[in-house]
């Protein structure tokens, strides 16, 4: 390779590397965005999932279920106190519909 060919070859290599890096970043970002939805990475919580009330649930409140906090409402309109175990019975958009679970009894 002659000295006159080194600079154009280096420019081509740098452009190729930048193009590959850009493509990889776009692919990783799209894959991440498609899988992620919030901290837990999901937009749905299956019925039967257990959780805990983080705030009182009167009309609406906040529960911790499936690894993240969700807006929730009681399935029958009853009030659920802070700290009470809950069970997911449905979902309306991003709002979980929950019922109070009886407190677990310690093993005898």
pLDDT of amino acid 48:
93
Closest Cα partner for 68 from 84, 57, 83, 54?
Answer: 54
Closest Cα partner for 45 from 85, 88, 98, 13?
Answer: 88
Question: What's the chain's average pLDDT?
Answer: 85
In the three-class reduction of DSSP (H, G, I as helix; E, B as strand; rest coil), residue 100 is classed as strand
Confidence of residue 108 (pLDDT cuts 50, 70, 90): very low
pLDDT of amino acid 46:
92
pLDDT tens-digit series, residues 69-81? 999 999 988 999 9
pLDDT tens-digit series, residues 20-57? 999 998 887 776 554 445 455 678 899 999 999 999 99
User: What percent of the chain shows pLDDT beyond 70?
Assistant: 84
């Amino acid at each position: 390779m002659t000295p006159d060919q080194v600079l154009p070859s280096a420019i081509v290599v740098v452009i190729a590397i930048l193009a590959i890096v850009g493509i990889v970043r776009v692919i990783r970002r799209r894959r991440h965005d498609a899988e992620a939805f919030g901290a837990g990475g999901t937009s749905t919580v299956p019925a039967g999932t257990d959780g805990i009330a983080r705030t009182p649930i009167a009309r609406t409140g906040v529960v911790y279920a499936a690894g993240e906090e969700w807006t929730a409402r009681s399935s029958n309109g009853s009030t659920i106190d802070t700290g009470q175990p809950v069970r997911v019975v449905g979902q309306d958009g991003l709002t979980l519909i929950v019922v109070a679970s009886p407190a677990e009894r310690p093993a005898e």
